[in-house]
Structure 1
Amino acid sequence: MATAKVRYWAAAKDAAGTSEEDFEAETLAELMTKITLDRAELARVVSRSSFLVDGNPVGKRDHNGVILADGATVEVLPPFAGG
Structure 2
Amino acid sequence: MATGTVRYWAAAKEAAGIAEEPFEAETLRDLLVDIARNPEIERVLRRSSFLIDGHPAGTRDPGTVSLPQGAVVEVLPPFAGG
TM-score bracket relative to the smaller structure: over 0.9
**Structure 1 stretches of 5 or more lacking a match?**
none
1:26 to partner: Cα distance: 0.1
Alignment partners' CA distance in 1, 2:63 and 2:73: 14
- Secondary structure at 1:22's aligned position in 2? strand
Alignment partners' CA distance in 2, 1:7 and 1:56: 14
The code of the aligned residue for 1:68 comes to L
The root-mean-square deviation of aligned C-alpha atoms, in Å, is: 0.5
- TM norm structure 2: 0.98
Identity, % of aligned pairs?
Answer: 63
- Secondary structure at 2:23's aligned position in 1? strand
- Superposition pairs for residues 66-81 of structure 1, below 5 Å? 66-81=65-80
Aligned partner of 2:53 in structure 1 is 54
Aligned partner of 1:16 in structure 2 is 16
Aligned partner of 1:6 in structure 2 is 6
Alignment partners' CA distance in 2, 1:82 and 1:24: 34
1:41 to partner: Cα distance: 1.4
- TM norm structure 1: 0.97
**Structure 2 stretches of 5 or more lacking a match?**
none
